[in-house]
Amino acid sequence: MSSPCPTPSAPEELHAQVWRASSLGGSASACVPSGFAALDAELPGGGWPTRGLSEILLSRPAVLEWRLLAPALRGAGTRPLLLINPPLVPHLAGLQACGLPPQQLVWIRAETPQQQLWAAEQAIKSNAAAAVLAWLPQARPEQIRRLQTHALSTEAPIFVFRPLQQAQRQSSAAPLRLAVDAVDWALQLRILKRRGPVFDGVLNLPAPPTDLARVLTPRMLAPRHSPALDPVEHSHALARPARPLTVP
């Protein structure tokens, strides 16, 4: 007995999956605005994708990711934000200052690479979170491909963080891949992979910590490094004790 033919995709879904090499691709699923107009203008669909991984390569883990993602996560709704294997213990007061309610944050502590990958897979497959943030420094390309397969049926944005120096030359199945560094109060962001033309430039995104943005003057926000007000040191204030949920 022959198997039934697969249901054809709707025309609008096919249109979103096909694009000219010289133009940005569309998105068949909803996208979440990043909070940075310059970044949204370069992302297919105009924001962080759902139904797919966003792989973010960091020069300094636990320093840059909150400044990049907090504007988008603030409007993520009431479902939990799942934090899997963050390199430093999340500091609830610091994250609350970024607009992320403590009661919405669920920290999942996984000790080994196998537990970290398992926790990320289960979080993605559950489709119960407003967003999943997974720090997977030792993930291999075939494991990223497996996570991407699971993410295809997830309605929330999925962010995977990996070390820049270790991962930037590896292949990746993630449809969106970024490299992030910081200079003073700005994030410097390169788009390594997207559905569309190659992005050769660098995006400079103003991203001072929320509590300091209210008191810093334009002169203080100008590109320069001030040892008395180090953005790296301040970012570490976002990583202090919280209540973990340990993976068995």
Single out the residue of 170, 169, 177, 172 nearest to residue 196, CA to CA: 177
What are the tens digits of pLDDT across the range 117-174?
Answer: 999 999 999 999 999 999 999 999 999 999 999 999 999 999 999 999 989 889 999 9
Strand partners, 105: 81
CATH architecture of 36-212+231-246: 3-Layer(aba) Sandwich (3.40)
What is the structure's pLDDT at 230?
41
* Average pLDDT, rounded, for the chain: 81
Q: Give the Cα separation of 246 and 111 in Å (integer).
A: 9
**What's the burial of 80, exposed, middle or buried (CB within 10 Å: 0-12/13-18/19+)?**
middle
What is the structure's pLDDT at 220?
63
Q: What is the pTM of this model?
A: 0.79
What are the tens digits of pLDDT across the range 37-56?
Answer: 999 999 999 999 999 999 99
- Domain assignments of the chain as residue spans, ordered by start: 36-212+231-246
What are the tens digits of pLDDT across the range 182-235?
Answer: 888 889 999 999 999 999 999 999 887 666 666 666 666 665 543 333 444 444
Token representation of residue 58: 């960091």
